[in-house]
Structure 1
Amino acid sequence: MTWTEAQIVQAHEHCFENAQEVQASAQCACYFCAANELPGAYFEPGAITEWLNPAGRDAKTGAEILRSGSKPLSDRATAICPNCTFDMVIGDASGLPITDRSLLSAINERF
């Protein structure tokens, strides 16, 4: 299938501050892993053990604060892929066809 720029951008927005959506999902996909046919591209939300905290950055290092464990620090946290450790996770609660590799490849190519 061919995806429009608007569809790709809209789908990509589900990768950020997605804790609620991911935790409400039965299955998640990492668009980087799926597009590159890496093992573990699809997983259950419980497999996620790291989250980017939207609260900000460490005062000394400036690094984004990570939370280890299956629970994010807030509903606005961003899921980190348990396989590649990128913030490229989309849950099926998004309503997107996450098993359609053409969509995940299109997002990966664009971003």
Structure 2
Amino acid sequence: MVSRTKVAKDLRIWLLDLAEKESGIEVGCLEVGNLTQLAGQKLHDVIAAFDKKSYKHRGQKGSGLLAQHKRDIKTIKEATKLALQLTQIAIPDLGGFPDADEDPEAA
């Protein structure tokens, strides 16, 4: 278990995944590709719920799943960036507007 070989690393990952599965705690997953199907606020709610579950079940000190939580954080950042792109619009600069005193056709 404490060896630094690839086989030992794979064994630790497999055991941690098995322990999570057997514990009955289901954090779920965040599929970034499926986020485009959701409406605005629902999109942000799904990301926030996943973030909260990931921290609660994987993010505590001493948790064997802390490495998985770090991967979750990367996915959450990616999903948040996509959500902001999908839900925020940019208003273009339309330039200056004439004053009410000026003749609009003279501008």
Classify the TM-score, shorter chain: under 0.3
More helix by share: 2
The answer to which structure, 1 or 2, has the higher relative contact order (CA under 8 A, 6+ apart) is 1
With the length of structure 2 as denominator, give the TM-score of the two structures: 0.23
More strand by share: 1
